[in-house]
Amino acid sequence: MDIDTFDFELPASLIAQRPLPDRDASRMLVLDRVTGDIAHRHFSDIGAFLQAGDCLVLNDTRVLPARLFGKKKETGANIEVLLLNEEDADEWETLVKPAKRVKVGTEIVFGDGRLTAICIGLHDHGARVLRFHYNGIFMEVLDALGTMPLPPYITEQLDEPERYQTVYAKKQGSAAAPTAGLHFTEERLDELRAIGVKICYITLHVGLGTFRPVSVERVEDHEMHAEYYEISAGTAATLNEAKKSGKGIVACGTTSARTLETIMHTYGEFKQTAGWTDIFIYPGFDFRGVDGLITNFHLPKSTLIMLVSAFAGKEAVMRAYRAAIDEQYRFFSFGDAMYIGKGATSV
């Protein structure tokens, strides 16, 4: 499958640079995954698409202040570090810029020496493994010295860092936000609970896969980077009961969808588990756990648009993206939403 079939032209003016004042005020394109029909709504209408007994699955990961700015100890050269995941105690897989300046043995100093690091390893995909040294508690040092790792297409300063966190963010560990969840407010979640929707939480810590471009010509040749996930016994039981009862399971975001499909494809049911997933979902994939999907609009030729295309059909998704561009929807992390489900446009 040619990667160029997932390409599209997007005017730069449609890339949302900041969140709307109200989280749930965004527009929402609705796509019927069976018929391919399209409708235009607002995210505040999300309750119309879920029924009593349905399960809404949210990723409760929390974004670390994972971007650090330091200096190479030997030369004073500026070094930018993005933490991806902790491989061992105080040893982190990272992306560094400029990478050519950081080799095994390179020392980096942050915050006048409050935090230091030494490069102890290189990965095939260009990441560096850094061992950090500090006094006190690492997360407190990181809170003091780190900044929110906004995607490179967002060029404006974010005045309120919490707007790049979901209102239910809990477990620290991500290098990027599960952005479909940014639309929810506590009031909107309470509204769903009131109509009988069951809110379930899973965790997937977003890592290098979000930042790594697809550089191959054939989709099938791309290799996903593994990310850590976990699901509780309570969530697994609720999801299994929903499946047994014929109720819908709606994943909020591609991260939730990947986690649910990883578990179903591994065990044939939902169960309490934790581990690493490198599942790559593209057209032809057999969805076994997810019935509906809430998502944002994704980058051209990204693994995320491939997942959405696998769920709703590539032609339907590309047609929906063209409609979104024509209707001036806002794209990417702080942009508008999509809801994809069976019979969705008849609501």
Shared domain check, 238 and 302 = yes
Structural domain range at position 180: 3-63+160-341
Amino acid 343: pLDDT: 84
Q: Give the pLDDT band of residue 141 (cuts 50, 70, 90).
A: very high
Q: What is the mean pLDDT of the chain?
A: 95
Within a domain: residue 109?
yes
CATH code of 100's domain: 2.40.10.240
| Residue-wise pLDDT tens digits, 96-107 | 999 999 999 999
Tens-place pLDDT, residues 184-193: 999 999 999 9
Residues 321 and 219 in one domain: yes
Q: Are 295 and 340 in contact (CB under 8 A)?
A: yes
**One domain for residues 271 and 307:** yes
More confident: 126 or 304 = 304
Asked if residue 298 is part of any domain, the answer here is yes
Give residue 211's pLDDT.
Answer: 61
| In the chain, % of residues over pLDDT 70 | 98
Burial of 88 (0-12, 13-18, 19+ CB in 10 A): exposed
* Residue 232 counted as domain residue: yes
pLDDT digits (tens, 9 = 90+) for 48-84: 999 999 999 999 999 999 999 999 999 999 999 999 8
Residues contacting 91, CB < 8 A, separation 6+:
120, 129, 130, 131, 132
pTM of the model: 0.93
Residue 205 token pair: 């810590």
Question: Which residue, 87, 122, 147, sits at the end of a domain?
Answer: 147
- Which region, left, alpha or beta, applies to residue 90 given φ > 0 means left and ψ of -120 to 50 means alpha? left
The model's confidence at residue 252, banded by pLDDT at 50, 70 and 90, is very high
| pLDDT tens string 196-211 | 999 999 999 998 776 6
* Same-domain check for residues 58 and 77: no
Residues 307-316: pLDDT tens digits? 999 999 999 9
Q: For the domain that residue 324 is a member of, what is the CATH number?
A: 3.40.1780.10
Instruction: Among 94, 116, 147, identify where a domain stops.
Output: 147
